[in-house]
Amino acid sequence: MAAFWLILFLTTQFCILITVSLPQQPGSQHVFLGGQSILQRFTFEGPEALDDILDAAEQNDLDVWQVTNAHVDVLFTPTSRPLSLPKLLSKGTAIPPAIYSVPTDDTQRPIEEWNIRSFQNTTFHGQYHPLYEIDGFMEDLAALHPDLVKLVNIGHSAEGREMFAISISKPTELGEQKRKGKEGEKSTGKPGFVVTGAQHAREWVATAAALYIAHSLVANGSEPESMSSLLDHFDFHIIPTPNPDGYVYTWEKDRFWYKNRMIVSPEEQCQGLDMNRNWGYHWSPSAPFNPTDLLKKNKKKKPKIPPADPCSVWYPGRRPFEAPEVNNIANFITQTPRLVVFVDLRSYGQMLSTPYSYSCNVLPADAEDQLEAALGVAHAIKKKHGTSFTTGSLCSMLYSAPGNIVDWMYGEAHIKYSFAAHLRDTGTYGYALPPEWIRPVGEETGTMIEYLARFVAKNGRTGL
């Protein structure tokens, strides 16, 4: 057994040293942590062990990053309670994965140094960016490609920040660009493709991948990984930062913040709600979270339905569309015609999931076509970099979660091909994916977008 030492700082003045015995893993080392966070994976057998692990995490106020039918990933921060790791270890087998410090970057950089005129040579996609740099990138992209790119202000966040969608379209040769859409906007008459970045603030790579996709669509067709040819058949609408307040908070205060930052009530000490449980399709005020549904074995136990606690990371709000950010995106979608594909970029897990999220027992009418498209995407991504993606309904891949954006896009906005894409990795780094992985993830996401566009065009006979 290898000795695993974990330092947990309770305050800036005091620290407690805890010794925990962990199974020896190939290549594992004695690791000394000082003020760092650690992502710990627990494997288990059976639903009762899963219940015990989740109960221990909840009792110790730990951040559960991912739950599957084989493992649970838990983040231990320097302020985690000192007894939490031993309690969890008694419930399952721990496998020590990534150890890292929270990245910080408050250096303001000029946009020019990124050379975004060249998609191949730009340095922009080699690092994560604070919100002001993302906004600057979008503005520069629109200035460089005024014939293709339009920034659309879709509303304001809870803290008053502007929210933007990047609409990318190419005028048709037949002069359809002269036809006027709603509010006098030009309309090409092409089907629309929507991509959203991180609703959950800490999922930085989802926003980075959304920006990569926007850049690839306006890149010169001669450049590697350019997807400009898709503009001949689709209009694209990309919302890189659906949760701008939460995203800023991850840079300034808490790297692993999850929710938005709205004040839910003057009496509440906690802020924010889970945007991805606030959509108005089968929304639930109790936000049931029952990972044991995955195993289909634990039939004797009643499902766990936690109370709608505003301090919970999964707090769904008091009503659907309570979050202004969710309401803004929904309004933008309903005002945008001919939408046929929607992809919600997330991290992590390497999964491409179809509706539904609210129930594992209900299949959409278009399930067969959706799954066929998802399987094709997984095959294409595997060929790209050898990365394996799994497919299935969102509920079966994770757990039942009402009020999900994918369910609303399919069930209310009637976008047939609606998907949730959990990008790299499978837990080694989790939400803290190193920046050198941004471009490979972007390339895989581009492969996903291009395959879906061609699949839908083929099935819709649009000629792509």
d(CA 280, CA 287): 13
**For position 110, what pLDDT does the model report?**
56
**For position 105, what pLDDT does the model report?**
54
Residues forming beta bridges with residue 3, ordered by sequence position: 21
Going by C-beta distance under 8 Å and a sequence separation of 6 or more, which residues neighbour residue 233? 190, 191, 453, 457, 462, 463, 464
- CB-CB neighbours of 428 under 10 Å: 14
Identify the structural domains of the chain with CATH numbers, from first to last. 2-92 (3.30.70), 111-253+320-460 (3.40.630.10)
Percent of the chain as helix, strand, coil, to the nearest 5: 30, 20, 50
**For position 76, what pLDDT does the model report?**
75
**For position 264, what pLDDT does the model report?**
92
**For position 311, what pLDDT does the model report?**
86
Q: How far is CA 111 from CA 141, 143, 317, 440, in A?
A: 11, 12, 38, 22
Give the closest residue to 93 by CA, choosing from 37, 38, 23, 24.
23
Largest separation between any pair of C-alpha atoms in the chain:
72
Per-residue pLDDT tens listing for the chain (464 residues):
333 333 232 222 222 222 222 333 322 222 223 456 777 888 887 777 787 787 777 777 778 888 877 888 887 776 665 445 566 666 677 776 566 555 555 555 555 679 999 999 999 999 999 999 999 999 999 999 999 999 999 999 999 999 999 999 998 764 444 444 444 455 578 999 999 999 999 999 999 999 999 999 999 999 999 999 999 999 999 999 999 999 999 999 988 899 999 999 888 889 999 999 999 999 999 755 545 444 444 444 444 555 578 888 889 999 999 999 999 999 999 999 999 999 999 999 999 999 999 999 999 999 999 999 999 999 999 999 999 999 999 999 988 899 999 999 999 999 999 999 999 999 888 999 999 999 999 999 999 999 999 999 998 755 56
Q: How far is CA 273 from CA 175, 326, 351, in A?
A: 45, 11, 24
Indicate the SS3 state at residue 100.
strand
d(CA 206, CA 213): 11
**For position 11, what pLDDT does the model report?**
28
